[in-house]
A and B are shown apart, each in its own frame.
Chain A
């Protein structure tokens, strides 16, 4: 999608303009409200939530719920807090993102600069695999992970996320490299440069922006995944699964403030990425839907 600069603004009267601003601001409030509620209530003592107003700022400010969510809340049967699961997520996300992005770059390079018969069919199949409902692979995946001895382990989750992530990363790099002049690659070939030399010297130096898009997309998706984590996480559950266990636990008093603090902790990494590199995040989203 081209990032054009034109807007389609029409001439509008003062009443219309006021209406537009009010409309836009109301929706901004709608989108911000849950974040405000989570943040405000994660800083209150529990009594202020159960007896007070969810929309109010804390009267007594406290970091207690955050500390509890992080290091001592009951997750499942262990009072470990979310900390070990946060670590699990990191250990899972980093290799999965790295591997799937590298594979995506190589695939995109082959599919645009070293084309062969049938390559577009392969790409089509790869693309379709991005959109399958993962329920269709859960049962055989569970069996195969069990056979490989990877069930309930971080390497198992990394494998799953790489396998179902390369479709998107390949898509990104393929579309990006398609716009790169093939003549340059041809000229390098005539000069005797090999497959990897061309990739290393010519393609890679220009791949910065799309690599960022790919990394951000993969990071967000894998960090936020729940289905695979819940199905194959076993002893190595990621953050999303732990948060759900924390919130759904039926024993004891419902500590809403701890739940909210936990939810923000689970959201923090992707939210930070969004704040720092939002532009690339949007590009990734768009490339996943409107290609070209």
Chain B
């Protein structure tokens, strides 16, 4: 009796479980390669790992040493400078381009892809191009001299105090078009009638944008901020290609710090600790954002 029933039962049960079975490889990979690895790296950050992973617990020693390192402070301060300028400038350029592009501009279809194409490039390509463009020997400085502006000087990339700003320039070039696209999508979603009404009431263009349009773009601002902040914290390739962290160590960021301490300076424990701090700062930005986004959908 039982055995004859088992056949259809098994098949329906299989049907019931099939979705979960199909999903399971991805979920398994996620738990191992993402969350398992995160736990493992956190664990390593509490051990005395050097060239190879070691499992001897040393408590928070790595974190204490990390925050005592000049190089780490340089990286953190650089990230602060880089991230704030990068976010502010990208947002300003992106917003201006979007608002201007939204004024029934002839050739919008041609301009938009021009603003956005850098986003399709690798940061290594961007870094290579700007490295030579900003090079005093062959780049802009040389060009200006040849064009007759003899006193023109632009050698930030060779200057310890200014090199971090060259990273901002290249990064803004790469992503500001993308921010433009985000704002443009936001602008196109705004109800036109409201603007017409305000205009009839005699509001000036400036006030119209300041009082009505820009506040309505709040979601786009939030998205832009989150995306840019997380890109800034993860910035690695651009530094490698553009400045190599130099001159000296003047443009190290946490991402390059982590790499060099872990893989070339044989301080895996400290490298792991710095990665944990990077993760925590990204989590602090992303988690509330993703949580809110997922909630809204229901």
Contacts and interface: CB of A to CB of B under 8 A. Distances in A.
A interface: dominant SS: helix
A244 B126 CA distance: 11
Contacts of A262: 128
Contact of A122 (B27, B96, B142, B268): B27
A149 B209 CA distance: 59
| CB-CB nearest 6 A-B residue pairs | A114-B19, A224-B122, A274-B120, A226-B237, A135-B275, A137-B37
A251 interface: no
A266 B123 CA distance: 11
B80 interface: no
B71 interface: no
Interface stretch (B59-67, B102-110, B157-165): B102-110
B297 A133 contact: no
Contacts of B223: 289-290
B114 to A, nearest CB: 5
B86 interface: no
B294 interface: yes
A10 B262 contact: no
Given A24-B105, A107-B23, A281-B120, A226 B236 contact: yes
Contacts of A281: 119-120
Nearest to B188: A4
B192 interface: yes
Contacts of B130: 34
B13 to A, nearest CB: 13
A8 B124 CA distance: 37
A106 to B, nearest CB: 5
A132 interface: yes
Contacts of B205: 10-12, 16
B122 A103 contact: no
B56 to A, nearest CB: 16
Interface of A: 1-12, 16-17, 20-21, 23-24, 27-28, 30-35, 37-38, 41, 49-50, 52-55, 103, 106-107, 110-111, 114, 116, 120, 122-129, 131-141, 143-144, 162-164, 166-167, 170, 178, 194-196, 220, 223-227, 230-231, 240, 243-244, 247-248, 256, 259-260, 262-264, 266-267, 270-271, 273-275, 278, 281-282, 285-286, 288-292
A133 B104 CA distance: 40
Interface string B200-213: 00000100110001
A66 B15 CA distance: 57
A24 B25 CA distance: 48
A139 B116 contact: no
Given A132-B34, A266-B124, A2 B189 contact: yes
Contact of B286 (A1, A33, A128): A128
- How large, as a class, is the contact surface on chain B? 35 or more
B152 interface: no
B38 A136 contact: yes
- A1, A134, A135 pick with most chain B CB within 10 angstroms: A135
A265 B276 CA distance: 36
A271 to B, nearest CB: 6
6 contacts: A8-B102, A54-B143, A116-B20, A120-B294, A224-B121, A285-B119
B185 A290 contact: yes
Given A243-B124, A259-B132, A139 B44 contact: yes
A10 B206 CA distance: 10
Contacts of B132: 37, 41, 54, 256, 259-260
A285 B173 contact: no
B155 interface: no
Contact of B41 (A106, A136, A194): A136
B58 interface: no
Contact of A32 (B38, B114, B120, B191): B114
Contact of B123 (A111, A166, A224, A278): A224
A4 B142 CA distance: 46
A31 B258 contact: no
Interface in B58-108: 93, 96-97, 99-105
Given A24-B100, A136-B41, A256 B190 contact: no
A286 B117 contact: no
Nearest to B103: A9
B49 to A, nearest CB: 8
A8 B213 contact: yes
Contacts of B103: 7, 9-10, 12, 17, 20
A126 B287 CA distance: 12
